């Protein structure tokens, strides 16, 4: 189902049950999965793959060349997972670097005017509210919620189930399961409401609260806190927390938000 006003390159690969609405533009190297819907005025170009069952609202652009001085037209990819909803005026740009990728996972909700820059990796079940912005090379793990107008610095990592408040300025890595807000951003504790909604056990939450206190209240540096965590970790949630802190950062100047 391709509207007669849409411009679709003959070599684009469109699922038979997909729908391309009025005035959309779909480029040569684009693949669109089954049952996905481009409502109207959507532009998808570059080496871009859209999964199944996605809904893309008007005036969204996906796969455009990155706003990066280092990009010189090389083949780089943009990938959107399955069942992701992308609202009006969202922009998701292709990566910089040969065969590099900008990716958004499954079951995400990106509200109006969200921007995801080159080489970002966004996990599954991520919600980004209106006007939230990711600079280049940001990694957002699964089940993260990012409030409206939040800005995330280049090369920053956001851990699983973290929640970032609206209008926050985030310039350092945010460990998983935490609640962060402010300009500059500060850690306010566990994302307790999110963890309860996700049915984390009392044991999980108690261990994460203890690890939060070691990192933020015990007057220890990150390495010292991690060593104490490793001595007592007993849950998968705790192991996720420790693994994030031990993972080498993308940019050593970022560090952990303390």
pLDDT tens-digit series, residues 209-221: 999 999 999 999 9
- Counting Cβ atoms within 10 Å, is residue 51 exposed (0-12), middle (13-18) or buried (19+)? buried
Q: What is the torsional sign of CA 48, 54, 58, 59?
A: negative
What mean pLDDT comes out for the span 45-55? 98
Compute the distance between CA of residue 50 and CA of residue 188 in angstroms, rounded to an integer. Answer: 36
pTM of model > 0.85: yes
Compute the distance between CA of residue 248 and CA of residue 243 in angstroms, rounded to an integer. Answer: 10
What mean pLDDT comes out for the span 103-108? 99
DSSP string, 233-252: --SHHHHHHHHHHHSPPSST
Alpha carbon distance, N-terminus to C-terminus of the chain = 52
Report the Cα 10 to chain-centroid distance in Å: 31
Residue 197: C-alpha distances to residues 87, 161, 201, 205, 210 (Å): 25, 11, 10, 12, 20
Percent of the chain scoring above 90 in pLDDT: 97
User: What does the longest C-alpha to C-alpha distance in the chain come to?
Assistant: 65
Q: Judge contact between 102 and 120, C-beta under 8 A.
A: yes
Tell me the pLDDT band of 252, cut-offs 50, 70 and 90.
low
Compute the distance between CA of residue 26 and CA of residue 178 in angstroms, rounded to an integer. Answer: 39
Q: Which two tokens stand for residue 207?
A: 């261990």
- Residue pLDDT, tens place only, 153-201: 999 999 999 999 999 999 999 999 999 999 999 999 999 999 999 999 9
- Residue pLDDT, tens place only, 22-37: 999 999 999 999 999 9
Q: Which two tokens stand for residue 185?
A: 């951003």
Q: Tell me what pLDDT residue 253 has.
A: 74
Q: Judge contact between 135 and 115, C-beta under 8 A.
A: no
Q: Which two tokens stand for residue 160?
A: 């699983």
Give all domains of the chain, ordered by start, each with its CATH number.
7-191 (2.160.10.10), 196-246 (no CATH)
pLDDT at 250 over 80: no
Q: Tell me what pLDDT residue 140 has.
A: 98
């Amino acid at each position: 189902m391709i509207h007669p006003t849409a411009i679709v390159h003959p070599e684009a690969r469109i699922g038979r049950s997909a729908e391309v609405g009025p005035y959309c533009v779909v480029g040569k190297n684009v693949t669109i999965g089954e049952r996905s819907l481009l409502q109207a005025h959507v532009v998808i170009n570059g080496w871009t793959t859209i999964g199944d069952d996605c809904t893309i609202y008007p005036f969204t652009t996906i796969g455009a060349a990155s706003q990066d001085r280092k990009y010189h037209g090389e083949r780089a990819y943009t990938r959107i997972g399955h069942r992701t909803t992308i609202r009006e005026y969202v922009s998701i740009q292709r990566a910089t670097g040969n065969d590099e990728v900008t990716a958004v996972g499954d079951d995400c909700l990106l509200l109006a005017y969200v921007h995801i820059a080159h080489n970002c990796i966004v996990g599954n079940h991520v919600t980004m509210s209106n006007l939230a912005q990711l600079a280049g090379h940001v990694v957002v793990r699964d089940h993260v919620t990012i409030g409206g107008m939040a800005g995330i610095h280049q090369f920053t990592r956001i851990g699983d189930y973290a929640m970032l408040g609206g209008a926050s300025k985030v310039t350092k890595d945010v460990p998983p399961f935490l609640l962060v807000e402010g300009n500059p951003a500060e850690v306010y504790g566990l994302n307790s409401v999110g963890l309860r909604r996700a049915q984390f056990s009392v044991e999980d939450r108690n261990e994460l609260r203890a690890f939060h206190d070691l990192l933020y209240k015990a007057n220890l540096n990150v390495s010292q806190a991690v060593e104490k965590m490793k001595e007592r970790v007993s849950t998968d949630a705790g192991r996720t927390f420790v693994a994030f802190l031990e993972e080498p950062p993308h940019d050593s100047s970022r560090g952990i938000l303390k």
